[in-house]
């Protein structure tokens, strides 16, 4: 199940990035292409084979996992700016770019690095599974490290949540409201993923479900927005031809 979630999410992100290449080459919405591209890299680094290859180059001490966390931070920031500006959500924009956002990303970054340095990270291990299995101390630290790594993305999605709820309840086109609904669901899933350290071992699969559900909802929501924009443009062109 976990492998299916990983590869499905990778496929969706990759296809979204590839589909954006023509527009990016024309200079249209390049930021959105880079968001998809970075999300693809992040998912790739969560899969064992590519992770081990990259980490071996970095010295085999799981620095690839630390790199993954900061790629996710950067992607979350770019995504937050894009969506907030697109919806005219000044409240979300102030949270993300103002003092609260700066303090939050600073605190989350310090927490991630501090917990990483406390773990015994010798030996490449995708998802830090080998580190988790080393002993009880490292197992607990891996859980808190993962939660720390999700703090900033959760902050971004929660900052956007009010704007997405407003969009869902508005008179905007159906596809736009669907995309906003998917982003809102992704926000909830991302927030639930922060509960990973307290999820019992018997329900450990929920940690992966929450994380990958959040990513899938975000990517699919953005794709629906893009589709809505394309359809609206074609509708305007058709109207111009008919009335011209």
Residue 19, pLDDT score: 82
Residue 244, pLDDT score: 54
DSSP-assigned letter for residue 123:
S
Residue 59, pLDDT score: 92
Instruction: Provide the terminal-to-terminal Cα distance of the chain, rounded to the nearest Å.
Output: 54
From residue 129, give the alpha-carbon distance in Å to each of 101, 122, 123, 216: 31, 12, 11, 23
Is residue 183 within 8 A of residue 166, CB to CB? The reply is no
pLDDT, one tens digit for every residue, the chain (244 residues): 667 767 777 887 888 788 878 877 887 777 778 888 888 888 888 888 889 999 999 999 999 999 999 998 988 888 888 888 888 889 999 999 999 999 999 999 999 999 999 999 999 998 898 999 999 999 999 989 988 998 898 899 889 999 999 999 988 888 889 999 998 898 888 888 877 777 887 887 787 788 878 888 888 888 888 788 778 777 776 655 445 5
pTM of structure = 0.80
How many whole angstroms from its chain centre is CA 140? 24
């Amino acid at each position: 199940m976990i492998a299916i979630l990983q590869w499905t999410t990778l496929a969706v992100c990759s296809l979204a990035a590839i589909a954006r290449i023509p527009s990016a080459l024309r200079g249209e919405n390049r930021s959105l292409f880079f968001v998809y591209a970075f999300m693809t890299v992040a998912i790739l680094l969560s899969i064992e084979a590519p992770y081990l290859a990259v980490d071996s180059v970095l010295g085999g001490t799981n620095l690839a996992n630390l790199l993954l966390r900061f790629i996710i931070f950067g992607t979350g920031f770019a995504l937050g700016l894009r969506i907030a500006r697109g919806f005219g959500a000044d409240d979300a924009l102030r949270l993300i770019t103002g003092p609260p956002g700066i303090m939050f990303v600073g605190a989350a970054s310090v927490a991630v690095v501090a917990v990483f340095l406390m773990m015994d990270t010798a030996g490449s291990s995708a998802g830090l599974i080998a580190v988790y299995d080393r002993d009880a101390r490292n197992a607990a630290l891996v859980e808190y490290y993962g939660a720390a790594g999700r703090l900033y993305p959760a902050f971004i999605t929660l900052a956007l949540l009010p704007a997405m709820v407003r969009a869902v309840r508005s008179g905007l086109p159906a596809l736009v409201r669907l995309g906003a609904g998917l982003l809102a669901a992704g926000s909830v899933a991302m927030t639930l993923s922060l509960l990973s350290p307290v999820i019992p071992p018997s329900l450990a699969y929920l940690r992966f479900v929450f994380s990958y559900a959040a990513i899938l909802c975000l990517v699919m929501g953005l794709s629906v927005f893009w589709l809505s924009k394309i359809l609206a443009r074609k509708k305007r062109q058709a109207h111009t031809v008919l009335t011209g």
